[in-house]
């Protein structure tokens, strides 16, 4: 594809988005009926602001979902210390709740507008950001082009490209270059990610490490934690967290396989999408297992087989209840989920092999002996059985995980240094405004 055709394709994308814009309202309403949108704030998805623009410089920060939001919260905290305004957009209801819980009214939260020209133009016309900071793999053509036309610096932080995304963009080199040339800076998670962004035309590219390492462990309600620990007592337990379709069934089958060998075994299963919990509870009951849904408030009793974690924002609770955690989206799905939170919460990490989105973190953990990869259900059962029965091996994995996470820290400082040339002029501008100097 030539550069000319790449420009034509992007123009066609722009026109198609404008033509599709009248359908945005019904689409967002439909999503709201499924609980995927905030009914009272759905106009924000069309670019209509829910708040007035504050005076002074505005930095637009965007994180797609919960994981990305948690990762950039320390970065936003540091930027807020400089006295500039931050508009944080996220794409999910749960990430909006995380932003509210951890940042409150220190930022202005909005739901990200859809990547259609009318929505993006409305958003940018209102907020007039001086700098845009995007997290991880948020590459939206219309957003990138509109920011480029307005000469707003765009910095991608904690950047990563999955195998699939990189393969797709490589098939359209002129198209990728037409987009990535708009980036002022890409701060990549790893050397592999940096090489991929450079191959697609991004300049400059630096490596920071993973911002997720520099976050605090997931919080917990200490009262709830103590109450559940009293209910569980000294029973052996393990957890399967951030699981996807098929992995919960595997975890329940592992429980049934190991229960005769570990008296009083409790399995804690936390599906990535809690709305699937009721169907899972029915499935587990049909397997002869006794299930307690966390949301029900029912006590965990001595004969409870499975505690089904169907609540949002309690990962810190579930991980503190077990010394062993299988991290999902790695056996029946691809990509994996973040293993750093279990490691920093003193948990031995198990995972399937499909962890492309967290390759660097898993490589470091596996090399240090803090994580183990399993190929299937029987492999998972074998590792859980071994770790439940060998306290020394379990403690060694846990200690290795804590040490590895500590060694990996530093991404926040490197990212702040990369952002300094773009943020510092805004700090000066903000201070001049407050002192009345012109």
Same domain, 49 and 119: yes
Q: Is 375 a catalytic residue?
A: no
Strand arrangement, sheet containing 266-271: 291-293, 306-308, 266-271, 237-243, 324-327, 348-351, 371-373
User: Would you say the C-alpha torsion 417, 423, 425, 430 has a positive or negative sign?
Assistant: negative
Q: Are 194 and 401 in contact (CB under 8 A)?
A: no
Average pLDDT, the chain: 93
Same domain, 364 and 301: yes
From 393, 405, 407, select the one nearest 348 (Cα to Cα). Answer: 393
DSSP-based three-state secondary structure for 7: helix
Q: What sign results for the dihedral spanned by CA atoms 107, 274, 373, 261? A: positive
pLDDT of residue 48: 95
The 10s digit of each residue's pLDDT in 165-199 is 999 999 988 889 989 999 999 999 999 999 999 99
Q: What is the DSSP string of 325-370?
A: EEESSSSSSSS----HHHHHTT-EEEE-S--GGGHHHHHHHHHHTS
Same domain, yes or no: 299 and 357: yes
Q: Are 85 and 108 contacting, i.e. CB atoms less than 8 angstroms apart?
A: yes
Are 72 and 164 contained in the same domain?
A: yes
Q: Do 192 and 296 fall within a single domain? A: no
CA atoms of 85 and 437, how far apart (whole Å): 19
Do β-strands 185-188 and 154-159 pair in parallel, antiparallel, or remain unpaired?
A: parallel
Model pLDDT, residue 20: 74
Q: How confident is the model at residue 30 (pLDDT cuts 50, 70, 90)?
A: confident
Phi then psi for residue 329, to 5 deg, are 55, 35
The total domain count for the chain is: 2
pLDDT of residue 159: 96
The answer to whether the beta carbons of residues 147 and 139 sit under 8 Å apart is: no
Segments in 116-213 forming alpha helices (H): 117-127, 141-149, 163-170, 173-180, 191-199
Place of tokens 């002074």: 56
Whether 418 and 348 map to the same domain: the answer is no
Q: Is residue 424 part of a domain?
A: yes
- Same domain membership, residue 389 and residue 240: yes
* Catalytic pick among 3, 37, 55, 68: 68
Average the pLDDT over 135-159 and give the result: 95
Same domain, 35 and 104: yes
Q: Is 436 a domain residue?
A: no
In a domain, 216, yes or no: no
Q: Which of helix, strand or coil describes residue 276?
A: helix
pLDDT per position as a tens digit, 261-308:
999 999 999 999 999 999 999 999 999 999 999 999 999 999 999 999
Q: What is the CATH number of the domain that holds 401?
A: 3.40.50.2000
Q: Are residues 205 and 337 in the same domain?
A: no
215 falls within a domain = no
Asked if residue 183 belongs to a domain, the reply is: yes
pLDDT at position 173: 87
Closest CA to 430 of 51, 50, 52, 59: 59
Domain assignment present for residue 332? The answer is yes
Q: Output the pLDDT for position 13.
A: 75
φ, ψ of residue 120 in degrees (nearest 5)? -65, -40
Residue that is written with structure tokens 């890409």 in the block: 186
Domain of residue 118, CATH code: 3.40.50.11720
Calculate the dihedral angle through the C-alpha atoms of 116, 121, 126, 130, rounding to the nearest 10 degrees: 100
Give dist(CA 6, CA 173) in Å, integer. 9
198 and 254 assigned to the same domain: no
Same domain, 235 and 264: yes
Could you tell me the CA-to-CA distances from 295 to 234, 254, 314 in Å, in that order? 23, 23, 11
188 and 297 together in one domain:
no
Beta pairing, strands 266-271 & 348-351: unpaired
Closest among 173, 156, 108 to 418, alpha carbons compared: 156
Tens-digit pLDDT profile for residues 310-326: 998 899 999 999 999 99
| Residue 292 in domain | yes
Q: What is the pLDDT of residue 10?
A: 75
Place of tokens 């183990």: 372
Gap between the Cα atoms of 167 and 164, Å rounded: 5
Does the residue 214 lie in any domain?
no
Give residue 86's pLDDT. Answer: 98
What DSSP designation does 4 have?
A: H
- Determine the Cα–Cα distance for residues 254 and 80; give it in Å rounded to an integer: 46
- Cα–Cα distance for residue pair 28/202, rounded to 1 Å: 33
**Residue 36 domain boundaries:** 3-209+410-431
């Amino acid at each position: 594809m030539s550069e000319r055709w790449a420009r034509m394709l992007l123009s066609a994308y722009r026109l198609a988005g404008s033509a599709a814009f009248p359908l945005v309202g019904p689409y967002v309403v439909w999503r709201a009926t499924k609980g995927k949108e905030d009914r009272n704030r759905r106009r924000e998805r069309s670019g209509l602001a829910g708040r007035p623009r504050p005076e002074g410089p505005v930095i637009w920060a965007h994180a797609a979902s919960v994981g990305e939001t948690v990762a950039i919260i320390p970065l936003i905290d540091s930027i807020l210390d400089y006295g500039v305004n931050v508009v944080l957009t996220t794409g999910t209801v749960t990430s909006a709740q995380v932003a509210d819980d951890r940042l409150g009214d220190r930022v202005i939260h909005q739901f990200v507008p859809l990547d259609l020209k009318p929505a993006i133009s409305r958003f940018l016309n209102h907020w007039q950001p001086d700098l845009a900071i995007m997290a991880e793999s948020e590459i939206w053509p219309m957003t990138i082009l509109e920011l480029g036309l307005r000469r707003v610096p765009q910095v991608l932080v904690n950047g990563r490209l999955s195998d699939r995304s990189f393969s797709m963009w490589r098939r359209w080199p002129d198209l990728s270059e037409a987009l990535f040339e708009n980036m002022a800076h890409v701060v990549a998670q790893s050397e592999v990610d940096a090489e991929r962004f450079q191959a697609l035309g991004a300049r400059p590219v630096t490596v920071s490490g993973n911002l997720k390492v520099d976050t605090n462990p997931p919080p917990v309600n200490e009262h709830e934690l103590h109450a559940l620990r009293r209910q569980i007592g000294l029973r052996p337990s393990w957890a399967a967290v951030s699981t996807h379709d098929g992995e919960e069934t595997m975890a329940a089958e592992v429980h049934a396989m190991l229960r005769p060998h570990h008296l009083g075994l409790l399995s804690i299963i936390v599906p990535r999408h809690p709305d699937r919990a009721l169907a899972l509870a029915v499935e587990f009951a049909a397997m002869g297992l006794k299930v307690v849904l966390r949301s029900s408030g029912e006590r965990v009793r001595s004969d409870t087989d499975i505690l089904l974690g169907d609540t949002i924002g309690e990962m810190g609770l579930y991980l503190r209840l077990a010394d062993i955690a299988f991290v999902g989206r790695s056996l029946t799905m691809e990509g994996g989920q973040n293993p750093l939170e279990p490691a920093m919460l003193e948990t031995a990490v198990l995972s399937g092999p499909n962890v492309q989105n967290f390759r660097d973190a898993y490589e470091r953990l596996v090399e240090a002996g803090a994580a183990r990869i399993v190929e299937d259900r029987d492999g998972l059962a074998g590792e859980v059985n071994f770790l439940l029965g060998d306290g020394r091996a379990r403690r060694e994995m846990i200690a290795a995980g804590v040490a590895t996470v500590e060694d990996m820290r530093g991404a926040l400082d490197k990212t702040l240094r990369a952002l300094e040339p773009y943020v510092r002029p805004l700090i000066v501008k903000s201070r001049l405004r407050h002192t009345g100097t012109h």
